[in-house]
Structure 1
Amino acid sequence: MAGALRGWGCRELLLLLLLLGMQRGARAGQIRYSVQEELDKGSFVGNIAKDLGLEPQELAERGVRIISRGRTQLFALNPGSGSLVTAGRIDREELCAQSARCLVNFNILVENKMKIYGIEVEIIDINDNFPRFRDEEVKVKVSENAATGTRLVLPFARDADVGVNSLQSYQLSSNIHFSLDEKSGSDGQKYPELVLEQPLDREKAAVHDLLLTALDGGDPVLSSTTHIRVMVLDANDNAPQFTRSEYRVSVPENIAVGTRLLTLTATDPDEGINGKLTYSFRNEEDKISQTFQLDSNLGGISTVQSLDYEESRFYLMEVVAQDGGALLASATVLVTVQDVNDNVPEMILTSLASSVSEDCLPGTVIALFSVHDGDSGENGEIACSISGNLPFKLEKSVDNYYHLLTTRTLDREEISEYNITLTVIDRGNPPLSTENHISLKVADVNDNPPIFPHTSYSTYIPENNPRGISIFSVTANDPDSGNNAQVTYSLAKDTFQGMPLSSFISINSDTGVLYALSSFDYEQVRDLQLWVTASDNGDPPLSSNVSLSLFMLDQNDNTPEILYPTLPTDGSTGVELAPRSAELGYLVTKVVAVDRDSGQNAWLSYRLLKASEPGLFMVGLHTGEVRTARALLDRDALKQSLVVAVQDHGQPPLSATVTLTVAVADSIPDVLADLGNLEPSADPDDSSLTLYLVVAVAVVSCVFLAFVIILLALRLRRWHTSCLHQASGGGLAGVPTSHFVGVDGVQAFLQTYSHEVCLTADSGKSHLIFPQPNYADTLISQESCGKSEPLLISEKINVNEGLEVVQVSFLS
């Protein structure tokens, strides 16, 4: 027995003593039981019927029941077995918490005896609760320079069970820096502590993760864990360090302002203010601070103004990182600027000719210019070209200089000005180009003579033109310019009719207008050929000629000239002979006339103006033949006087008249006999007729005298005119001179032609009257003659009525 007791612990001995006490108490009047917690409902607690000295069936008979004191009934009576059983699951920790003993007291009433028995049931703990920490994770801080042996308080665990089922010990996960120690409090609670075994280095391990386990003494052993995170507090024992000692970055020069180029990274193993780094430039130049901006917190470098490769191709700067403890580190930053094709090629004209002579030789230098591109590489490689198909080319000289040359001779008359576009383009991507426009004028050279639009000209001038009138205008064009295109006109030196041409025609040297210096006569000058010269004012001058034909237009300025019959020169009167046996249509004579005009102005028509015997003779309208209009009668007068008018067709028409005397007889002797035998008649009518005849003879004598004087004057004028015509090669040389044969002072043609003339006496005046066109061939009556327009008026005669026929015969 003693050996068995030695193996028991204090807890087991305590439970044994309690059990013995309960048994003694029961015998003293109180019944005690014990039961484990967490038993199912109806579990056996004790044989209450036996302990009351009753049989099981007596419990119901005697009215045995449990009397509670206002608390939940934990137990119940089983009348069938007479046992005390659990009324439900019992949780000791809920009833008694952490009390060493958990006792439940209640009474049992035996109603028939009115006797009460005290019942005490001890709830025996079982290991049904795990040790529990309040937090699943606990953070513990310790300085990295803490001394070895430093103790850190850890959270403790609690276990709802008691006795051996309660918390018994702690365990710590394996590590080299910390160990676990336990301390017991006055309440018997055990408190764990960490003990620093080796120095800490936050930069190597800033956090140490440990696992603390709490164990109870139950069977089986229950446990729980908590995560202990040991935070090593920093001490400024590390200087900042950059990831690289030198940073290089290459960026294009057209990068946008504000773009971050790179971010410097410096590290400091310290933490807090000791690990907070500040970035700055060290000994930066003004150009660096004006171009770049450094983020003092993040270490990023960005641009604050645009970069220019042509201004600076790289930037070298030093950046410092400093922590809160004044420890620092430095790094070099090299920013290389990449060239971008952002510079347009430049063209600088060094020398430029504003004009060039059109006769310049190929290869003449027009301009000298240089090109430049601020970019580099392909972006700075330049090519020059000329747009269009122009007679120019580019030739490279030294360095970046180019010559602009002509490739062929120029022609100002074809193109007087060139607009040359010089294009300079680089080889960037995309390429940039520059255009320069050059205006080049071609200076004129006198290489073109004046040119007339036509090879020859012709014009017409009406004769009798006023002197100084403009007759024609010629114009020559010279494609040159300036003085080389100023044209001067002149007439080629020539003669006409033995006189200088300049005495007939002149020309305005500036306008080319020709003027007539004399009045031309178509009958003397039909046409005029001359040459007009157009000369420019170049050096030497160039000229060209053109022929000009001036044709005279005839005007009706010449009256018809009667060639036959001609007026006698010896004062006699020519007489045409008409035999009395002449029948109708007998050709008496023919009036021959010419007109020195031409064309319509020379078309002649013949008309009978007057006749002493109307209706006896007629005149051919176009032939001028005088024929009998009827057969001659014995009563017809011996002498017939005819007035024939010759008229042209000009506007206005001109005319001439001739008086014919026709003797009605078979022969000349008969004419003379008839004239001698004319005796006055005894008839009163005959005496009256005689008076008229005497008056008529007197008048005719006067008229004849005047006629002879006029005839002489006309002859002298005709002789003078013929002399002029012979001198000029013109005239009417082909007309033969009339020959007359005189018979008693009267001349006659060998062949007789008769011409009718109508002589009337009207108001004391004698008139020669042309008949109207309707009466061109035959003078019908005296009345018709009276209606005709008088064209020639003779001397006054004192004859009131009657008609005298004067006949003049011409013999050829």
Structure 2
Amino acid sequence: MVPPKNHRVWRELLLLCALLGTLWEARASQIRYSVPEETDKGFFVGNISKDLGLEPWELEKHGVRIISRGRTQLFALNSRSGSLVTAGRIDREELCAQSARCLVNINILVEDRGKLFGIEIEITDINDNNPKFQVKNLEVKINEIAAPGARYPLPEAVDLDVGVNSLQSYQLSPSHHFSLDVQTGDDGTINPELVLERALDREEEAAHNLVLTASDGGDPRRSSTVHIRVIVLDTNDNAPIFAQSIYRVKVPENVPAGTPLLTVSASDLDEGANGKVAYKFWKINEKRSPVFHLNEYTGEISTAKSLDYEECSFYEMEIQAEDVGALLGRTKVLISVEDVNDNKPEVIITSLFSPVLENSLPGTVIAFLNVHDQDSGKNGQVVCYTSDNLPFKLEKSVENYYRLVTWEYLDREKVSIYNITVVASDMGTPPLSTETNILLLVADINDNPPTFPHASYSAYVPENNMRGASILSLTAHDPDGQKNAQVTYSVTEDTSQGVPLSFYVSINSDTGVLYALQSFDYEQIQDLKLLVIASDSGDPPLSSNVSLSLYVLDQNDNVPEILYPIIPTHDSTGVELAPRSAEPGYLVTKVVAVDRDSGQNAWLSYHLLKASEPGLFAVGLHTGEVRTARGLLDRDALKQILLVAVQDHGQPPLSATITLTVAVADSIPDVLSDLGHIRTLAVPDDSDLTLYLVVAVAVVSCVFLAFVIVLLALRLRRWHSSRLLQAAGGGLAGMPASHFVGIDRVQAFLQTYSQEVSLTSGSGKSHVIFPQPNYADTLISQESCEKSDSLLTSIKFHECKDEAACAQNR
């Protein structure tokens, strides 16, 4: 049996080990770094991942982040390198004024472990501030009876830097009457004094100009100057003397602006005007001087604006009394600001894990809270608790941090939303408290698939659409919450006409907007059948689908295509013949055109845009037939030019034009003679006009003779061919006189009105199309249109030597 004494020893050893372990853990959780001020954003401070024992890529996984009370984040975490870097420019003087050490404390939270680590960062000073005088120009008045050795305090320069970078020395410009003496106070301040070396004589020199330079000890050294003007005065041998060398006063921070604090008083033994004293601030921080007001005549010091203990709890200043003879006296005023419980505790939710699954275990962390009170002493001591009858409790973490955890299982079927009230109250008199509400959602499991409002959808898209144009927006609804209700959209992998659907369309996986990846052509594809799938992001995911029919709408994007007359090639010109004996309504030719579009976009109309002889011809609006509008007259020109337009009924309408040449003559010789006449008139050189006329007549005569010979030869050939056909049994006797020719399922009636005739003169050729005398219909098939030979009979004229034979041929 173990003696009771040994039990007591073992118990003490266990308690000691537990205490040492707690101290070691607290010390290990404290991390210290240092960083110089005024560094650029992103400057490396320390390796957080190494100090926390984590790899850089594990920081985001464990939810490592910075939490702090300050409104401005001075530091940030670099998730790639796992290092702590500066979040912006840091000004040490702004953070810590002139404190010897500037320490910034932040906390690193590891969310999944529920641990906080304290970080202490020292901001080291750099020489970034010049010593600064409160004034640029100073006027010092010295009586001429002042004895050598008299001392006159000079304004001190203020350097916001600390250590060697702070103010180190003063230097005075060379002078025969003055020197500089620097006194070091008990608090380490350097006070410059102007020492009179030689007696002054106002009548000899009434003013002296000096320059005082203040320098620090930084590298590089910084300095500033103040210009001192010494004015020599007449006799005034008594300086003001304050009743106390130091004035002290305590004031609560909640006094209103304008409250008198104390009155300083200085006496002058002189009489009359030399005994009057004026008061002014001599040494006070420029940022704090607007806080107080000094009556220049009475010496009363009052508050100029409200005080704030949390901003500054102690003020030190010097008051100067000056008489009319510029003799000075000084005293020091110390004002202590007492704290008042005027700040409510602040509760900051640093982390909130909402929603929480209903099957979460007791002890699950719901939120991290930071509680702080700006007051001091008991006024800043805070207790924190939650409202009753809720399955949550607060647990104290490090420093002023709490964590809100569950203490029993949650049941979403009973309560789906909790409104948790956290109360923070200080220990002041009277106590102040703050209530913070936390809205906690209890999450459900993924048990509902996304659903579409309709069983199927139809969408229409015009052809020639822009690539990337939106077609339709589909929305599926999932009654689940949060991640389980996040729906993504996709289109099943299928093909249309052997091409994957993904070639034509794409759907935005987040918004459900269907986009066209290609510009659709109605003439190639009229519709697409799609199957759109909506899937949620639950685990496991649930999905549903809906069918979508996409229809392509036709647009007027095809210009009418003119099939007849065929546009001449090379140096030939198509000519239609109209006899001068033609009656009104005589059919000269017909313009045939088709349009690849559909509907009203393919409805065609024909218009006569321009004619060399207005009113002579008319074009059928729907047939395209070119007819004479009146009888032909002798004065009508041989060559008539017509510009015919074919236009569809689309919006906007598209059109095509063709130029027709109509020869007005009763016979071919008339045409030839007129053509010769036209060629003769076309000669540009007036000096050789007679020569060209003779040559033209000769050429026309030769062409005419050639034409008669060729015509006779063709007649003989036809007669011979007819004999051969009759001998063969008349195989073509049953062929009809006209046929339809079709292009892309569009049929058009073609009627032949002309015959190609080749006129040869010399080395050049002219091709003119003349009508046959009987204007008979000619069969034109699609096969014959594709051949290079013309459907019209080609006749070549050669020189005719036998005029009688030519006349017979006519």
TM-score (norm 1): 0.33
TM-score (norm 2): 0.33
Identify which of structures 1 and 2 has the higher relative contact order when contacts are C-alpha pairs closer than 8 Å and 6+ apart.
Answer: 1
Q: Choose 1 or 2 for highest CA Rg.
A: 1
